[in-house]
Each structure stands twice: as structure tokens, then as C-alpha cells.
């Protein structure tokens, strides 16, 4: 009889030939049903006919060798520690394996007379080919040409050989697996059916079969995620009532005409897309992506004013107090002198009311603010999470802009949506501070529409980035700072990143400041900024830097976002290898804001191959989207989909890097399936593998800012 995944989920693994001890191990791994077992995919497939021969393998190279275990010995070193030695033979030569740790475990993998695949570097030791601590995959007595290698568990003593046996048994005892995906979908992308895919991935005869199977299983994973996201998006649109904003006011137009520069084409497009959304009676749910300096703030303010001109209010939420304050100052400056028609006012108009609400707002001020908010005297409220506290009541919230979504949870988004007037739901615009690769955006923010600012305002000269690998280049960095200051420009120095504590970070900034003032930058006017500088003093320092009374600002990453001093033309980032790509790119965005040629020095030898890649990428490219792709390549999608994936994570095979094009295809199909009605069995699968309320599908993009 044909079966679906749901049926497999009801079959306990104990139906298979599993010993009680192994069953315990499986339970600990979270594998309790036959479905769990079948979704425990091989991590690679070994082609028996295509392995290195021991006798021919080059010394000092990493190879996979398939050989039979001849002899295994536990031995004791002179220091009295046990270690394990094994001799393998593959017909072409002998290989010695040595293990100093987990001796017991390796002994159990290396049963004499059985076949094993080992992966590692071959060295010559005592005149013999040797591998120390290779990866060992027991192949057992499987004779197939292609051997699937399963992730094994050292702790639970479960080997790839165990998994292979159980899965083989399970598939033999299942007649046929149903396919819930309609035939026309499979036809469009030439995908094999599910039964074929499962069988050929676990028990393949050729590598072509493996590849075809993988394609199908990857598609299934991505399709399920997209279906959940698309369904959520569509249901939200269907069930909630939004505000149909009127676009015919002139406030936004007047705002744009007062700017000292024309909008970029990308800004105009994004504002039009947002306007179209806001005019609809369905709540907007849009993501605004753009590189550092692409002018997202202007777009956000345009959205806020669009609501304001129709008599509604706007909210702008930032993830931190500092950012909220910076937004507040920035938005006020942008709106300076902009007026709004007001019949109650004798002059017939009044300034656009912008206010700030954070945890620092005093109780008295807060009370006053709440009153004006309820009266509608406040047009735009800027703040942190404090904005969505229960007690904050708007007269009519028309649009909420959320800056840097990654630090806001889904619930907070929901709470904000609950702030509309009566039944209506405010429009929501989410801004990310740094670009996210397209496939990641589709996966993490798949329930949003996306606008992209893919163009920088004209007149910017790209920042020249120099990775200062050694002392000579560091000397060059400081002399560049001096030369730029002499030419009337200004500079930033970013102090080493200290994760352990704010206290240490403050100390590192202070030490950097002291030593530069005495040494490399003696004679220049230096300022210091870090997390413990009191707000008042911070403002004084920033003001002095803005006015050009300070030449060099030494700071921690508090300058990461929002600081805008076009006269600054050089930045030196110390210990740059400790920062992540996104953060370095964001920091670098503080220079190159004017027309002057600008420099960014990344000081620090690459501590790891990965940090070398990071610094190299920054040196090569100033394109945030390109850097985001590199970041994804380096760090993998595991980090995107969230680390806290309990139980069934549905992204087992698919890779947002390798399978880029499949993400887009799955999304396309998800929309078509939703419109045609998602087949019932597929809905069951979504409930089974990606239950709603389980935050897996929208686990935050926090990874972008973790270094």
C-alpha cells in the first residue's frame, strides 16, 4: 500500500531490527520514527570504484581510502597513555592508522576483517604510510558500488553501518512512497518522484541517481519552507484589514523638493512600490534592502510622511537606544521647517511633530508624550521596543518602520501590528542595515515583499580598502591619517573588538586612544567614544567631530551605524580580523560619504583562513550584496536558519548557496500551488514538518551581525 510521510511518522523505529541499546541511542539523537530515520540522510556517497589506492596515494595529501582491517592493537605509550593502532590493506599497500583519543570508540568501528573507508592525510612515519586520527566510516559487508555514508554518533555508538542497515530494511519493507507534489511541478523541473528519490538517495547504484535524488529532496525541503511563508503572507493579506492611504497629498512631494539633491532612481522605485502597497486596503509587509549609504533613511521617512499626510501617524523602531536617538536627530534635521496643514492653528499649518520615546524618557515626559500621541499631535514617534509596550496608544498608527529587523522577534512584529486603529493593521516596512543574499532573504523573510536599493547616490568615490597585514602597512595607515588631517579631512580609528565584556572594550578603546595620542598620532586632536561615555558627553564629542574640532575619533563599534560626517576620509580598523564581514562593511560605510577619495585600513594579520578570506573579500569589493554572498559561503546557512533548531529541522540537504536557483524555483511553485489550492497531502506535510508557531521558518537573521 502507498504511504505518505505522515504514515512513516507513526511507525516507531522499534519495528525494525534494532537492539534495545541502539534504540536508546537513536532516541537520544531524536530519531524515534521511521520518518526520522529516512530523513537521516547520508552526508556523502562513496564510490567504491573511485577511491585512492594506498600504494599509489601521495604522501601529505588528503585522500579517502577503502580498505580491509587486518589487525587492531591497543598499546600503551611511554607516558602510560593508551592509544590505538590499526593496519589496513587494500590490495595495493598497507596503511597504519593511529588514534590517541576515543580509543574505545574507534576500536568498535574497526572490526577486524571488515571494510572501512578512511579519510585523512597520509604521512610517512617509521618508514610506513600512516594516518593519524582519520575520519572512519565502517562500510561493513555492503557490496554496492555506491556506499552511502551516514552521519554517525560517537557518543551513542551509532555507526554509518548501523544506519545503512536499518534504512535498507525500512525501504525494503515499505512498498511505495506517495508523492504529494503534482506531476506538472515535477515535469517543469524534470524531477524524479519521491519514491525513486528516497530509494536512490539511500540505496543508489550510480552517482547520477544520487544527484537526481538529491535534487528532488532539496526541492521538497525548499518547497515546504516557501509554502509555509507564502501561505502565511497570503493568509495575513486575506484576513487583516489595512489602511488604504491616500496618495494625493503634497507632503511627501514637498519633502522631496526641499532635499538638496534629487532622489536616486532606486529610491524613487522603492518609494513608488511602498506607496502602491500603502494605498491598498491590505496591510503592507515589505522589506527594504539596501547597501550602507544607499539612502534607506529617506525612503523610510517618505513612507512615514505618506501616512502623516493622510492624517495618520508613523512609528520608527530601532533596536537600540543609541540608534533610536540617532534616528531621531536625523529625522528631525531632515524634516526641519516642513509643515503640515492644521485648521486648529491660526496660521493654517504647523511643523510635523517628531518625538522620541526610549527607556530613558522620564516619567513626566512620558505622560505628556502619551497624551499628545493620543491627541494626534505627534506625527512620527521614534524609539526602541518601548514603542510597542501595551501602554503606548496611538491615535491612528498608519505605518511602522522597523530598522534592523534581525534584532526584533516575530512576536514584536505582531505586537506592533496590534497597534492600529480598531480592527485595522498598520502597514509595516522592515529595513535591514546590511544586504542579505537574495536566497537568504527569500528564506528568512519569505513572508515579505522586497524592495531593493541597488544603487548608491551619485558623486561617491568608492573607498579604497587596504588590508594592512604587517607593521609596514600599519605605518602607512597612520601616515595616511596624518596626511588626510593635514589636507583638512578627518579620520576614524576603530578600537579592537572585545566580546567578553563592555568593561574590557572600554579599556581597549581608552588604551588605543592613549597610545595613539602619545605615539603615532601625537599632535592631532583626538576624541574618544565608547559605550560608557555618558550621553551628554557623547553628544559633545560627536558635535565637535561634526564641526571639525576633532581630527580623529577613536571609537568602539558605537559608530557602526548612523554617524554621518562626510568630511571623514579615512578609517583605521584595528584587529580587523576579529570582526565579521557585515560589521566591517558597515563600519567602512562611515567614510566615503563625501566626494573626497577615501581609505579604509584593515589592520591585523588573518588569524584563521576564514578571517583571511573575510579581509581579502573586503579589500576586493565594496558591494554589500556581493560581500553578503561571500559571508554566506563562509559561514553557511545553518547560521541563518537559527541555531536553536530543536527536533525536525527541515533544511537538511538544501544549501542556500549551492542550491540558489532552487530557492527561487520553489518560491515560484509555492505561489502557484497556493493559488491553485495546496494539495491536501502537502498541507499535512507542512503541519508535520514545519508546524506553525514553531519559529523555524522565520528564525531570525541574527547571524548577519554576529562576528
Q: By the criterion CB under 6 A, which residues form the site for ligand ADP?
A: 261, 263-264, 267, 290, 292-298, 457, 564, 593
The x, y and z cell numbers of residue 205, run together, are 547504484
- Choices 56-64, 294-302, 446-454, 576-584; region in contact with Mg ion by CB under 5 A: 294-302
Question: Quick one: how far is CA 655 from the chain centroid?
Answer: 13
Q: Are 674 and 227 in contact (CB under 8 A)?
A: yes
**Which residues, listed in sequence order, are joined to residue 177 by a DSSP beta bridge?**
3
Q: Of Mg ion, ligand ADP, none, which one sits near residue 356, judging by CB under 5 to 8 A according to partner kind?
A: none
CB atoms within 10 A of CB 53: 14
Q: Does 434 bind Mg ion (CB under 5 A)?
A: no
The nearest distance, CB 291 to ligand ADP, in angstroms, is 7
What is the SS3 assignment for 427? strand
* C-alpha cell read off for 695: 519559529
End-to-end Cα distance, the chain: 51
Residue sitting closest to Mg ion (CB) = 297
- What is the sign of the dihedral through the CA atoms of 588, 590, 596 and 600? negative
What mask of x and - would describe binding to Mg ion in positions 144 to 183, judged by CB under 5 A? ----------------------------------------
User: In whole angstroms, how close is the CB of 459 to ligand ADP at the nearest point?
Assistant: 7
Question: Residue 297 Cβ, how far from Mg ion at the closest point, in Å?
Answer: 4
What residue 295 binds from Mg ion, ligand ADP, none (CB within 5 to 8 A, per partner kind)? ligand ADP
How far is Cα 89 from Cα 85, in angstroms, rounded to an integer?
Answer: 14
Partner touching 457 among ligand ADP, Mg ion, none, CB below 5 to 8 Å by kind = ligand ADP
Decide: is 297 part of the binding site for Mg ion (CB under 5 A): yes
SS3 402: strand
- Binding of Mg ion by 313 (CB under 5 A): no
Q: Could you tell me if 137 and 116 are in contact, meaning their C-beta atoms sit under 8 angstroms apart? A: yes
82 binds, among Mg ion, ligand ADP, none (CB under 5 to 8 A by kind): none
Residue 594 or 638 having the CB closest to Mg ion? 594
Partner touching 261 among ligand ADP, Mg ion, none, CB below 5 to 8 Å by kind: ligand ADP
Q: Which of residues 357-396 bind Mg ion (CB under 5 A)?
A: none
Cell, residue 108: 568498535
Radius of gyration of the chain, Cα coordinates, nearest whole angstrom: 30
| Among Mg ion, ligand ADP, none, partner that 564 touches (CB below 5 to 8 angstroms by kind) | ligand ADP
Nearer to ligand ADP, 338 or 524 (CB): 338
Q: Whose Cβ is closer to ligand ADP: residue 4's or residue 589's?
A: 589
We find the least distance from the C-beta atom of residue 565 to ligand ADP, in angstroms, to be: 9
What is the Cα–Cα distance from 146 to 136, expressed in whole angstroms? 17
Helix (H, G, I), strand (E, B) or coil at 67: strand
* H-run or E-run covering 403: strand 397-403
Contacted entry of Mg ion, ligand ADP, none for residue 482, CB cut-off 5 to 8 Å set by kind:
none
The CA–CA distances, whole Å, from 133 to 79, 101, 123, 616 equal 19, 8, 12, 32
Q: Which is nearer to ligand ADP, 401 or 673 (CB)?
A: 401
H/E stretch holding 489 reads: none
Q: How many residues bind Mg ion (CB under 5 A)?
A: 1
**CB nearer ligand ADP, residue 224 or residue 590:** 590
| Neighbour tally for 15: CB within 10 Å | 12
Nearer to ligand ADP, 293 or 319 (CB): 293
Nearer to ligand ADP (CB atom), residue 297 or residue 611: 297
* Nearer to ligand ADP among residue 263 and residue 498 (C-beta): 263
Cβ neighbours for 459, distance < 8 A, ≥ 6 positions apart = 595
CA nearest neighbour of 8 among 681, 646, 696, 654:
681
**Residues at the interface with Mg ion (CB under 5 A):** 297
Amino acid at each position: 500500500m502507498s504511504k505518505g510521510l505522515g504514515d512513516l511518522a507513526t511507525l516507531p523505529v522499534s519495528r525494525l531490527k534494532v537492539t534495545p541499546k541502539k534504540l536508546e541511542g537513536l532516541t537520544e539523537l531524536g530519531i524515534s520514527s521511521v520518518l526520522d530515520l529516512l530523513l537521516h540522510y547520508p552526508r556523502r556517497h562513496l564510490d567504491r570504484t573511485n577511491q585512492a589506492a594506498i600504494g599509489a596515494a601521495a604522501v601529505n595529501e588528503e585522500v579517502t581510502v577503502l580498505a580491509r582491517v587486518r589487525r587492531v592493537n591497543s598499546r600503551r605509550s611511554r607516558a602510560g597513555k593508551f592509544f590505538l593502532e590499526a593496519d589496513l590493506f587494500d590490495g595495493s599497500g598497507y596503511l597504519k592508522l593511529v588514534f590517541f583519543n576515543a580509543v574505545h570508540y574507534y576500536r568498535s568501528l574497526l572490526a577486524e576483517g571488515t571494510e572501512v573507508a578512511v579519510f585523512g592525510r597520509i604521512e610517512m612515519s617509521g618508514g610506513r604510510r600512516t594516518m593519524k586520527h582519520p575520519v572512519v566510516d565502517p562500510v561493513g559487508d555492503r557490496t554496492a558500488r555506491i556506499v552511502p555514508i551516514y552521519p554517525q554518533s560517537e557518543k551513542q555508538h551509532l555507526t554509518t553501518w548501523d544506519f545503512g542497515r536499518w534504512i535498507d530494511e525500512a525501504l525494503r519493507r515499505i512498498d511505495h512512497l506517495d508523492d504529494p507534489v503534482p506531476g506538472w511541478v515535477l515535469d517543469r523541473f524534470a524531477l524524479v518522484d519521491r519514491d525513486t528519490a528516497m530509494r536512490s538517495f539511500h540505496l543508489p547504484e550510480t552517482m547520477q541517481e544520487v544527484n537526481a535524488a538529491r535534487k528532488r529532496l532539496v526541492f521538497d525541503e525548499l518547497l515546504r519552507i516557501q509554502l509555509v511563508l507564502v501561505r502565511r503572507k497570503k493568509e495575513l493579506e486575506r484576513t487583516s484589514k489595512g489602511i488604504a492611504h491616500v496618495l494625493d497629498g503634497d507632503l511627501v512631494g514637498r519633502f522631496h523638493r526641499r532635499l538638496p539633491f534629487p532622489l536616486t532612481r532606486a529610491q524613487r522605485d522603492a518609494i513608488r512600490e511602498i506607496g502602491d502597497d500603502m494605498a491598498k486596503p491590505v496591510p503592507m509587509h515589505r522589506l527594504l534592502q539596501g547597501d550602507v549609504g544607499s539612502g534607506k533613511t529617506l525612503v523610510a521617512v517618505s513612507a512615514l510622511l505618506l501616512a502623516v499626510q493622510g492624517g495618520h501617524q508613523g512609528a520608527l523602531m530601532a533596536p537600540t537606544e543609541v540608534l533610536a536617538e540617532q534616528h531621531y536627530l536625523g529625522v528631525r534635521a531632515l524634516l526641519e521647517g516642513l509643515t503640515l496643514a492644521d485648521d486648529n492653528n491660526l496660521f493654517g499649518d504647523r511643523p510635523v511633530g517628531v518625538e522620541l520615546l526610549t527607556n530613558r524618557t522620564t516619567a513626566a515626559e512620558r505622560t505628556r508624550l502619551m497624551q499628545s500621541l493620543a491627541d494626534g499631535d505627534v506625527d512620527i514617534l521614534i524609539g526602541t521596543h518601548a514603542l510597542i509596550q501595551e501602554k503606548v496608544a496611538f491615535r491612528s498608527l498608519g505605518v511602522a518602520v522597523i530598522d534592523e529587523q534581525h534584532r526584533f522577534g516575530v512576536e514584536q512584529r505582531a505586537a506592533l501590528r496590534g497597534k492600529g486603529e480598531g480592527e485595522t493593521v498598520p502597514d509595516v516596512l522592515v529595513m535591514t542595515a546590511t544586504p542579505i543574499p537574495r536566497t537568504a532573504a527569500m528564506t528568512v523573510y519569505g513572508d515579505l515583499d522586497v524592495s531593493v536599493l541597488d544603487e548608491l547616490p551619485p558623486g561617491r568615490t568608492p573607498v579604497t580598502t587596504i588590508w594592512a597585514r604587517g607593521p609596514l602597512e600599519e605605518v602607512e595607515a597612520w601616515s595616511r591619517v596624518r596626511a588626510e588631517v593635514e589636507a583638512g579631512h578627518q579620520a576614524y580609528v576603530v578600537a579592537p573588538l572585545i566580546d567578553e565584556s563592555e568593561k574590557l572594550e572600554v579599556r581597549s578603546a581608552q588604551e588605543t586612544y592613549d597610545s595613539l595620542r602619545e605615539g603615532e598620532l601625537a599632535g592631532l586632536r583626538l576624541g574618544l567614544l565608547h559605550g560608557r561615555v555618558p550621553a551628554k558627553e557623547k553628544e559633545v564629542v560627536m558635535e565637535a567631530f561634526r564641526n571639525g574640532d576633532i581630527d580623529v575619533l577613536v571609537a568602539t563599534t558605537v559608530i557602526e551605524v548612523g554617524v554621518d560626517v562626510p568630511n571623514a576620509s579615512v578609517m583605521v580598523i584595528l584587529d580587523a580580523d576579529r570582526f565579521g564581514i557585515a560589521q566591517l562593511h558597515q563600519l567602512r560605510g562611515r567614510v566615503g560619504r563625501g566626494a573626497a577619495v577615501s581609505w579604509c585600513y584593515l589592520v591585523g594579520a588573518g588569524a584563521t583562513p576564514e578571517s583571511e578570506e573575510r579581509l581579502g573579500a573586503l579589500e576586493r569589493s565594496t558591494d554589500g550584496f556581493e560581500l553578503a554572498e561571500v559571508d554566506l559561503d563562509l559561514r553557511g546557512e545553518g547560521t541563518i536558519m537559527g541555531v536553536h533548531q530543536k527536533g525536525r529541522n527541515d533544511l537538511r540537504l538544501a544549501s542556500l548557496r549551492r542550491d540558489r536557483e532552487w530557492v527561487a524555483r520553489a518560491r515560484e511553485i509555492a505561489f502557484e500551488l497556493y493559488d491553485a489550492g495546496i494539495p491536501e497531502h502537502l498541507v499535512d506535510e507542512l503541519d508535520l514538518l514545519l508546524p506553525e508557531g514553531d519559529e523555524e521558518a522565520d528564525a531570525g537573521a541574527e547571524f548577519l551581525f554576529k562576528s
